[in-house]
Structure 1
């Protein structure tokens, strides 16, 4: 339960001190990536856990044993977290690593490596809603009194992990400098099987149709949400209180419509247009 109320400042953003220390953040910035490494990069609540699970299953050729017996934070540990050094496994196969850090911190090291980078982006209205509910259950994040309060902070980039707009644009600008694959949460929702096949192509991991079947079946939200190696039910209630909100809550596109007023949505659209004018990433706001 250490450092539950501590906030670290790093690279112009705030990070929860329960998971990050100055030493762990410096270690992440200086980390030596090597050929074969696969780095999952996301802003929080954008499909990180989903991609960790998909890659686990791709590299196991659809065998679910690892996914059902080893927690995802051990299979694809967080580069910037305090436990990373003792968790990262050296052995056969690629090292799957996860991060929420901005491109300004990691891009220089990645540009001099042969690591592969998979960036998962999600439409920011749904990110804001999911992040708000995460605040309600994650005791290492600052308390938020209402969704309206959180939304205002989110749009200003005054939340832990910084601005969604800066994070997405910063990493997307690296697409020609890195071995880079970008996919959206909405792509995964719309056609999971096609997305798995595209990832296999990027990773150089051809799979038989039956193996893709297994990956697709295991990585559907209803299945993952019941897997204790994925849904964070193994974490003590004092750290993540699932009575307040589930870590894997809905897994849908367009949940923002259940939370935002028309006025909030319009204000969000205006800010989105201003801040994302130079970014050609396309986002789906619903799947209707």
Structure 2
């Protein structure tokens, strides 16, 4: 298990154990209008995050919960390390690069001071909406890969995840979960609000959107697009190597080795249209209506290809 994953496991397991000691209704708290998991995030960290100074060569993977961030995050990290080994091996310190919990909004308030000593390129993940990120991210034009996944598969994956990860409130039935999902009463807030906000930033020069579905259909092409966007100057052989190591199946098969018992939660089915085993006709109708009212016709909405992936 790499240093990065040990750090990830330590904090994730602590958050789950701490959450077991508090009532279900206290597992979420609200900060600046958005709900967050109590044992993973804090108002002190969010206040400290405001002063975080992003760099122009920072790479940030932004995605709503259960959109495939673990999978795509490993691809991004592999690309950056492969490039550094090839072009600037003297600057590469993998242990330091992976020393912090990868999510920008999770850790302790002193985390951002420690990160000042980290060499470029820093690889960061976030579940935050664009308007909740530190102002320096857009001011300094850090590279942002925006990961988008269709809402029905996100809901299905999220439901399974909450049943296995104690830091998030669980639901006895998909029906009660779906009600909370539609209302946005979720860790890191509403799926709909998240994408409506990010839609306003999708044309920024430092933002490249990519969908979970296109990555499933052609991982190698997605990896190539990422490498080009990040300006990593990798050969076709380098890119193919990352792609072969990064298929969803390959990562799922290695999940327990990489993440321990947490691996089964991180990588569930991982397919497209898994939602069909959970959604009732009423769930479908409600999601169809909400999507049509809020996201249909937007650039993010068009990327999701709702009629292809979300029609019963």
State the TM bucket, normalised to the shorter chain.
0.7 to 0.9
Instruction: Please give the TM-score of this superposition, normalised by the length of structure 1.
Output: 0.85
Structure 1: tracts of 5 or more residues without a match:
64-68, 235-239
Distance 1:222 1:87 in 2: 35
Select 2:121's aligned residue among 94, 111, 116: 94
Q: Give the alignment's Cα RMSD to 1 decimal.
A: 2.7
Paired residue for 1:249? 268
Give the corresponding residue for 2:10.
none
Give the match for residue 237 of structure 1: none
Q: Give the drift of 1:160.
A: 1.7
The one-character-per-residue Cα deviations of 1:98-118 (angstroms, maximum 9, x if unpaired) are: 111112211633221131111
More helix, by proportion: 2
Cα shift at 1:232: 3.0
Unpaired stretches in structure 2, ≥5 consecutive residues: 1-13, 86-93
Q: Is it true that 1:40 corresponds to 2:40 in the alignment?
A: no
Query: Within 5 Å, which residues of 2 pair with 1:206-245?
Result: 206-228=233-255, 232-233=259-260
Q: Does 1:262 align with 2:272?
A: no
Is the CA contact (8 Å cut-off) linking 1:75 and 1:96 kept in structure 2? no
SS in 1 for 2:124: strand
Question: Could you tell me how far 1:92 is from its partner in structure 2?
Answer: 4.1
- Dislocated runs of 4+, deviation >6 Å: none
Out of 97, 105, 123, the position equivalent to 1:80 is 105
Structure 1 match to 2:133: 106
Q: C-alpha distance in 1, partners of 2:98/2:255?
A: 12
| In 1: Cα distance, 2:285 partner to 2:100 partner | 40
2:296 counterpart of 1:277: yes
Match of 2:82 among 49, 56, 61: 61
Could you tell which deviates more after superposition, 131-140 or 23-32? 23-32
Q: 2:147 aligns with which of 120, 145, 150?
A: 120
Alignment match, 1:29: 50
Aligned length: 274
Counterpart CA distance in 1 for 2:161 and 2:231 is 34
Q: CA deviation at 1:89?
A: 7.6
Equivalence for 1:160: 187
SS of match in other structure, 2:209: strand
